[in-house]
A and B are shown apart, each in its own frame.
Chain A
Amino acid sequence: MENGRRKKSFPFFHKGERVAVFIASLILVLATFIPWGFTKHPAFIGGWLSTTLLYFWIVLIIEVAFVITIEFSWLKRRQRAKNR
């Protein structure tokens, strides 16, 4: 430890991983923010299922899977860090 700078011995995510997680999160958030044309004026598949709904369900399922993966990955790393 020099001049207040600390050597980080066990970050819970490495720098590259943190950048990747951040970019993936940003893409998922932007996917919900951007006002795509097909979400504003939906077409209807089979006469009832709107493209907007289909799009949001797909984004929602990807988001949930992504966030749960991060959460359990975090737990695994914390437990490994505790055992060191």
Chain B
Amino acid sequence: MLAIGVLMYRKRKAGAEDYFLMSRDIPWWLLSMTTMGTMISTFTFLGGVGLGYSLGTSMFFIALSNCWIGIYMITLGHRMWILGKKYGYVSLGEIIRDRFDNSKFLEIFFGCSSCLWQIAYLAMMYVGCSYAISTITGGLISYKLALLLIVVTTSIYTVVGGMRAVVITDAIQWVLVVITLVAAIVIIAGIGVPGAGVVQGFRTIATTAPQVLGKVMANKVWIEMFIFISVGFFFGPAIWTRMLAARDERAIAWTAANVTFFHPFFMGFVCFLIGIAAWAIYGPKFPRPDNLLPTIMKGYFPWWLGTVIMAGAVAAAKSVISACMLSLSQLITRDIVEPIYGKLTPRGSDHVSYVALVCLGIVSVVIGWLPPASIIIKSVEFSNTGLAMIAPITIAALYWRRATTAGAIAGFVGGTILAAVMRFSGYQTPWLTGPIWAFIANAVLIVVVSLLTARTSEPTVEKINGYLDAEIYGNEMKLEPGRQ
């Protein structure tokens, strides 16, 4: 991976567009692999298996929800891609800024809130990956040493190679993940362990805890998770960045199709069935479900098989870590530093990105050093709640000509703060959970305040919405800077 980083460094051109988006030239097969590498993560291998074991059939909200990410890609992602190609946008925050009267406040708030939510996700990847290495080596590599090793290696190849290195390493790591699938079948089938296997797991549950194979989760929590998992995933900077980096529409469509197929397949079949198979081995009392997969590997299977599966899990985590780190440094450079200090030169942009990546590595070590228990599930809940709050403002910016800056600020800022309060307080009503009310308040505020305030100037709206209409529907634009 480090060698790839160095190799890609030699191919790099100066400037943010190449460093962060590989010059917007990622072909369909590579974009599909890197996006899948970014989505199949520690959460899938450790958290997903843990959820299959502890929640049983109720974990299906993840698989059923993630089917829809492909639809967001061909609608919202496609519009971002069109605007990125035309105006050179490197971040979604820049699109939001330009659509809403060049509002630097909105851009900086977007950058800061995305960073804050995404850091929780990044820390979870580090923690999960370090636990996996530590468990499978039987403590030979301690948790803290594993954490340091991962932070150092991923930081080096991400800093040196930028998006080029991340994309290539993602693709290699994705191949490892797919190989892992074959090994996972061994666990599901229970080969080599007497009395194990998924059918035996199902029988154990049916006789000892049949409710695990029903929908035990409260319906309002199910609805919240269903909405926030897919929306939060798409609005994670590591995913929408890939939409801006696509070479063409074919790349977007194929990536959407691969995500639609593979992610639900992993969560709804592979992880779920491994979680069920664990019932045949451990019964209902495994203390730390997040650590189930490495424990099964270490306790019941030959070392080489354990190594193959955990190499897949570590590969998945590392590809997400590098993608998250790069997208976070992109947010810091483009949506926080540039709006405050002004446009950077290509070399200056590179230097700020390097510093941001090193700082992120240090912050991750600090967060990961003493992690709370079951961080994997909790951090996904936290991170996806906040990232989902970006959806209403983005939809308003890309689809609704009447949306105004005041409406965008009221909805986005109000909704994000409310979501944080609701998430931490655990507030719920009989029908819906607090974070879902925050999501609704976010959308309603954008609509109501926009309708109550003066329209955004025509040239501003035409630059974004007019150009999108022209490209998608073939309409003539009224006004568009630089176009006759």
Among residues 435 to 484 in chain B, which have CB atoms less than 8 Å away from a CB atom of chain A? 469, 472-476, 478
Give the chain A neighbours of B226 by CB distance below 8 A. Answer: 29, 32-33
Q: Determine chain A's interface SS by DSSP, over half rule.
A: helix
Q: Are A59 and B260 interface neighbours, CB within 8 A?
A: no
In the assembly, what is the distance between CA of A6 and CA of B465, in Å?
12
Q: Are A64 and B261 interface neighbours, CB within 8 A?
A: yes
Q: Are B474 and A47 interface neighbours, CB within 8 A?
A: no
Among residues 58 to 81 in chain A, which have CB atoms less than 8 Å away from a CB atom of chain B? 59-60, 63-64, 67-68, 70-72, 74-75, 78-79, 81
Q: Are B67 and A33 interface neighbours, CB within 8 A?
A: no
In the assembly, what is the distance between CA of A55 and CA of B28, in Å?
33
Mark B residues whose CB is within 8 Å of A: 57, 60-61, 63-64, 67-68, 70-71, 73-74, 199, 202-203, 206, 210, 213-216, 219, 222-223, 226, 249-250, 253, 256-257, 260-261, 264, 268, 469, 472-476, 478
Q: Are B67 and A40 interface neighbours, CB within 8 A?
A: no
Give the chain B neighbours of A70 by CB distance below 8 A. Answer: 71, 74
Contact of B74 among A52, A74, A81 (CB under 8 A): A74
Q: Are A32 and B253 interface neighbours, CB within 8 A?
A: no
Interface pairs (20), CB distance under 8 Å: A1-B478, A4-B478, A8-B475, A9-B473, A11-B472, A32-B60, A35-B219, A42-B213, A44-B206, A50-B57, A50-B206, A53-B57, A59-B64, A60-B64, A60-B67, A63-B264, A68-B257, A68-B260, A71-B253, A78-B253
Inter-chain CB contacts under 8 Å: number: 122
Q: Are A71 and B214 interface neighbours, CB within 8 A?
A: no
Q: Are B70 and A79 interface neighbours, CB within 8 A?
A: no
Q: Are A71 and B74 interface neighbours, CB within 8 A?
A: yes
In the assembly, what is the distance between CA of A39 and CA of B60, in Å?
12
In the assembly, what is the distance between CA of A81 and CA of B474, in Å?
9
CB distance from B428 to the nearest CB of A (A): 16
Q: Which of B63, B199, B213, B215 has the most CB of A within 10 A?
A: B215
B74 to A, closest residue via Cβ: A74
B262 to A, closest residue via Cβ: A64
Give the chain A neighbours of B260 by CB distance below 8 A. Answer: 64, 67-68, 71
Q: Are A48 and B253 interface neighbours, CB within 8 A?
A: no
The 9 A-B residue pairs whose C-beta atoms are closest, nearest first, are A50-B213, A75-B253, A48-B202, A9-B474, A6-B475, A39-B215, A56-B60, A8-B473, A63-B67
CB distance from B55 to the nearest CB of A (A): 12
Mark A residues whose CB is within 8 Å of B: 1, 4, 6-12, 25, 29, 32-33, 35, 39-42, 44, 47-50, 52-53, 56-57, 59-60, 63-64, 67-68, 70-72, 74-75, 78-79, 81, 84
In the assembly, what is the distance between CA of A59 and CA of B65, in Å?
11
Contact of B64 among A44, A50, A63 (CB under 8 A): A63
A71-B264 in contact given A10-B473, A60-B63 (Cβ < 8 Å): no
Q: Are A67 and B473 interface neighbours, CB within 8 A?
A: no
Give the chain A neighbours of B73 by CB distance below 8 A. Answer: 71
In the assembly, what is the distance between CA of A79 and CA of B252, in Å?
13
Q: Are B206 and A48 interface neighbours, CB within 8 A?
A: yes
Give the chain A neighbours of B257 by CB distance below 8 A. Answer: 68, 71-72
CB distance from A41 to the nearest CB of B (A): 6
In the assembly, what is the distance between CA of A35 and CA of B67, in Å?
20
Q: Which of A44, A49, A52 has the most CB of B within 10 A?
A: A52
In the assembly, what is the distance between CA of A1 and CA of B469, in Å?
13
B58 to A, closest residue via Cβ: A52
Given contacts A1-B478, A60-B60, A67-B70, 19 further A-B contacts (CB under 8 A): A1-B475, A1-B476, A11-B473, A25-B68, A32-B61, A32-B64, A42-B57, A49-B202, A50-B202, A50-B210, A50-B213, A52-B57, A56-B268, A57-B268, A60-B64, A63-B68, A64-B260, A70-B71, A71-B256
Give the chain B neighbours of A64 by CB distance below 8 A. Answer: 67, 260-261, 264
In the assembly, what is the distance between CA of A32 and CA of B68, in Å?
13
B256 to A, closest residue via Cβ: A71
CB distance from B264 to the nearest CB of A (A): 6
In the assembly, what is the distance between CA of A78 and CA of B70, in Å?
16
In the assembly, what is the distance between CA of A59 and CA of B61, in Å?
11
A60-B264 in contact given A75-B249, A75-B250 (Cβ < 8 Å): yes
In the assembly, what is the distance between CA of A10 and CA of B384, in Å?
35
A57 to B, closest residue via Cβ: B268
In the assembly, what is the distance between CA of A11 and CA of B473, in Å?
5
